[in-house]
Amino acid sequence: MPSSTTANLVRTSRARVSRFSTSTPPPPPPETPRRPNPLVTSAAAGFAAGLIFVLARRWTTEAKSADVKCDGAPALTVVDTHGRPWMPVDAEEQDDPRNPMRIRMANWVKSLQDHIVLTLEAIEASHSPLPSEHSPSSSAPPKFLRDAWLRPEGGEGSSCVLAGGRVFEKAGVNISIVHGKLPPAGQKQMRAEHASLPQFDVPIPFFATGLSIVLHPRNPHVPTVHLNYRYFEVEHPEKPGEVLAWWFGGGSDLTPSYLVEEDARLFHSTLKDACDKHNTAYWPAFKAWCDKYFYIPHRKESRGVGGLFFDDLTTTSQIHAPKDGSNPPSKEEIFDFVKTISSAFLPAYVPIVLKNKDKGWTDEERRWQLLRRGRYVEFNLVYDRGTKFGLATPGARIESILMSLPEVARWEYMSEMGAEGTEEGKLMEVLRKPREWA
């Protein structure tokens, strides 16, 4: 039986011949439509119904087992929609324990940076593009500017910055991988916070790598968030390759403009669960350390509702002192903890964004958000050790260091906002007297 295309060509050819013929040939008989096989139709329908049932059952089962404990869109939605699990699985699979730790940590922060940037870009793309005075991006969803740079004194980095987004007014996800010589004065300054650092009268080789994130959302009901995880090591000045001291440090904290208790509980409980997988002593110690570190003495208040913070974490740290005959964790085990806790960032924060990003706000709420950002700036420029160390480091990339600052902030003389009994006052009560959220 000729195909439909062939049949059409045959009919066209006959029509042309009829113009020059004395008689018109009879038209070809119509093609008899093929009837579908009832057995095949039933099998296809059964397969489709079964597939829908399996997928629906799987989705509902996973949704019920999701760890999200707040209202709004569950974390599963992000995973299913954008196909990116919370942990960068490819980086975990490619990690080679035979490599030096400096290479392994550098590879980890690179992968985590890309993983988080893609997730944040997906959130931007999922938000309504309708223009408004609060969300100027009305065309294509904004993407991060990826700025790779080299440090003349040794090393490299990548600063990924988004400005004017639909969800994030300013967002920075930076990594640095630097090396050089630490002078005696720098060694002395660092020993105040790092007891494991040896002291030499000559410059010593150092290596440092880390990931730093600060997200300033547009909506006052979505909290600002900060993350930093890093690795540092120094070598013997006369024996290249011999590591004299090493440590991990980092943390993550939440800075809301308006207190939503279930959001604070979700953020803290997610980080606590990640800590407890490795050492149940970590969370209470690192949570208290965070409350102490992010305190603004001249304001007598905390920067936000906290999270966790740790530094100088090595096998000989006080928190790893042997108990009941147990051995301290190895370098490998501490690195595993850093991977777990850094991977907990997205499930701790993204559900809060999805829950609150579509809420409306008033001019007064925006005003309060900008006042709280002013406090954020005060802490970072006056007290933050990382900012101060970066600004004092020769060859430092100032634009990347100051990435943490918001584009817009506000200071008022003797502002009346934050009074007791107001929504703003509820936040101030917690900032002056930190609470346990998990």
Q: How many other CB atoms are there within 10 angstroms of residue 423's CB atom?
A: 14
Q: How many other CB atoms are there within 10 angstroms of residue 56's CB atom?
A: 10
Q: Which of 351, 357, 352 is nearest to 63 (CA)?
A: 351
Helices (H) and strands (E) in the chain, counts: 14, 9
Q: Which residues pair with 145 in a beta bridge?
A: 161
Q: Which two tokens stand for residue 368?
A: 């309060």
Catalytic residue selected from 115, 127, 221, 226: 226
- Count the residues in the chain: 438
> How many whole angstroms separate alpha carbon 336 and alpha carbon 333?
5
Q: Residue 275 gets which letter from DSSP?
A: H
Q: What values do phi and psi take at 33, rounded to 5?
A: -65, 145
Is 226 among the catalytic positions?
yes
> How many whole angstroms separate alpha carbon 44 and alpha carbon 344?
42
Find the DSSP H helices in 229-360: 261-276, 282-293, 331-343, 345-356
* Contact residues for 378 (Cβ-Cβ < 8 A; gap 6+): 296, 298, 299
pLDDT in tens, the chain (438 residues): 444 444 443 343 333 333 333 344 455 555 554 555 554 444 444 544 454 443 444 444 444 444 433 333 334 444 433 455 677 777 777 888 999 999 999 999 999 999 999 999 999 999 887 555 455 555 788 999 999 999 888 999 999 999 999 999 999 999 999 998 888 877 777 777 777 777 788 888 999 999 999 999 999 999 999 999 999 999 988 888 889 899 999 999 999 999 999 999 999 999 999 999 999 999 999 999 999 999 999 999 999 999 999 999 999 999 998 887 788 999 999 999 999 999 999 999 999 999 999 999 999 999 999 999 999 999 999 999 888 877 877 777 888 889 899 999 999 999 999 999 999 999 999 999 999 999
> How many whole angstroms separate alpha carbon 163 and alpha carbon 129?
15
C-alpha of 288 from chain center: 23
Q: Which residues pair with 177 in a beta bridge?
A: 156, 209
Classify strands 204-217 and 168-182 as parallel, antiparallel or unpaired.
Answer: antiparallel
Find the DSSP H helices in 65-142: 75-82, 89-94, 101-126
pTM for the whole structure: 0.78
